[in-house]
Amino acid sequence: MGSDLESSPFHRQLLAALDGLRGLALADLGPAALLVALTVVGDAIRLGVEVPSPVMRAAEALPNDAFRAAFLALYEETATWALPVEPDTTGDLPDFAWAVRRRDEAESVIVAARRVLVPRGTLLEELEEVRAFDAFLMLSDFTCGGRLGRTDAERAMGERGLLATPGSWVEALPDLERAEERIAEAEKTTSEPLPFAMPSDASVDAYVTQGRLAAWIEGAARRSPAFAEELEAMIDASFAAGAMVVSLRALRWLSGRPGRSRASKPGAAPAKRPSVRITAVPPAALAAADRNEALVAPQRTVHLGALDPLDVEASLTVSVETATLQLFPARGLDLARVQLGSAVIHAPDAEGIWRVKVPTTDQPLDLRVQACDGRVFEEIIELGPEG
């Protein structure tokens, strides 16, 4: 394989990528960029290509938190790995090919991380984000119902097929060269439930407050009615305790629970999808019971966590009169447009905060945030009284 490797375009690209990492401060990279660097390092380790000393030293200097952030980004990206339920009749499987290539790149990230972390006494399995990613892999069917196998995956990998060496993750896929083997494997795949890892308290808290690890948490809730009931109670408790720190993602899940959806108002147009109800409108109160003063409007602020797929933190401040959405984009993320109901803004205020205000209403409000790179967050919210 040595001569084939050295003459391959992939080998030349790998050497160029390793050279490009020389002198690069890996610790200064964001999670997505760090994933690219770790993929290159892992590719080299898997192929037996020497990693330049400066690059290895930079990787070894990375703190554990950098790896945690990288694996969190990797886990959240798995939402784009849309494995087809069954192959297209034309044999064209772009979704399958994308998922397989990303799965193989993730394998290189794992290899690079293990090379750095194990010598310092840290097992990958000790990192919550790695366990979440592992749980996703356990629940992912790269055979697409037993219809695709090892040869299909190797073909989908393209130039990365060089990494499908003995012992690689691809080897675990079935060899389905004969039609009868394909049928038997499909039956086996559909009849045997896959195991899943129950989320920890820290993971559930990250979901409830920030909307993180959503696929894992919601997947566990689908598989375990008891866990779903516990999760529902935790979200409710966040409001009852007055903490007002509940992610929109968690509220969206809660709105879909039995008995949580609200009937449409008579004469109302059909909604595009059920709205997320935020019970945060406080009652008007007297400023002082012993004085004849006008009603005042107390406010409640709900911290809504991250607006996936955008790296934007959101909060909503509500009174009986107005509702104000505040957005805090991550450094380097540029927003183009923010809409709440009929109000639209295209720039932040003087404090650098994207802030849009509308009158408080019991009608559904469209919430839409568009980034300059084209990504969009969309939701429909409905404001309700406390209690």
Structure tokens at 279: 């019970």
Q: Domain for residue 298, yes or no?
A: yes
Using alpha carbons, list the distances in angstroms from residue 384 to 239, 262, 300, 313, 323. 13, 11, 12, 22, 11
Same domain, 11 and 151: yes
Helix ranges, 30-90 (H): 31-47, 53-60, 64-77
pLDDT value, residue 207: 83
Of 110, 141, 176, which marks where a domain is finished?
176
Cα atoms found within 13 Å of the Cα of residue 15, Cβ hemisphere only: 8
* 136/16 same-domain check: yes
| C-alpha–C-alpha distance, residues 51 and 323, integer Å | 54
Q: Of 147, 176, 205, which marks where a domain is finished?
A: 176
Full DSSP string of 90-129? TS--HHHHHHHHHHHHHHHHHHHHHHHHGGGT--GGGSHH
SS3 338: strand
Q: Which CA distances in Å does 193 have to 133, 167, 172, 175, 222?
A: 19, 25, 17, 21, 13
Kindly state whether residues 203 and 171 are assigned to the same domain.
Answer: no
Would 186 be classed as within a structural domain? Answer: no
- Is 105 inside a domain boundary? yes
Side chain identity at residue 286, one-letter code: L
pLDDT, position 179? 34
Residue 41, in any domain of the structure? yes
Does residue 89 belong to any structural domain of this protein? yes
Both 330 and 358 in one domain: the answer is: yes
Give Cα 300 to chain centroid, integer Å. 28
In which region does residue 267 sit, left (phi positive, over 0), alpha (psi from -120 to 50) or beta (all else)?
A: left
- CA–CA distance, 295 with 361 (Å, rounded to integer): 18
Whether 230 and 317 share a structural domain: no
Residues 44 and 167 in one domain: yes
Q: How far, in Å, are 177, 217, 299 from residue 293 at the CA level?
A: 83, 49, 18
Instruction: List per-block mean pLDDT (blocks of 10 residues) for the chain, which spans 387 residues.
Output: 69 92 90 94 93 94 95 86 60 75 93 93 88 82 74 87 84 61 45 52 79 78 87 80 73 82 48 72 56 60 84 88 91 91 94 92 93 90 82
Output the pLDDT for position 93.
Answer: 66
Q: What is the pLDDT of residue 16?
A: 92
| Shared-domain flag, residues 125 and 232 | no
Same domain, 73 and 167: yes
Domain harbouring 362, CATH code: 2.60.40
| Whole-structure pTM value | 0.51
Residue 116 included in any domain: yes
Q: 79 is in which domain, residue-wise?
A: 5-176
Quick one: residue 217, left, alpha or beta (phi over 0 = left, psi -120 to 50 = alpha)?
alpha
Domain annotation covers residue 338: yes
Structural domains of the chain, count: 3
Same-domain check for residues 64 and 161:
yes
Residue with tokens 């060496």: 165
Query: Nearest-CA neighbor of 303 among 232, 254, 244?
Result: 244
Looking at the structure, tell me whether residues 205 and 172 fall in a common domain: no
Residue-wise pLDDT tens digits, 205-237: 878 887 877 777 887 888 888 889 989 988 887
* Claim to verify: residue 23 and residue 162 sit in the same structural domain: yes
Domain boundary, last residue among 227, 256, 285: 256
**Single-letter code of the amino acid located at 57:** R
In a domain, 26, yes or no: yes
pLDDT at 335: 94
Do 163 and 206 lie in one domain? The reply is no
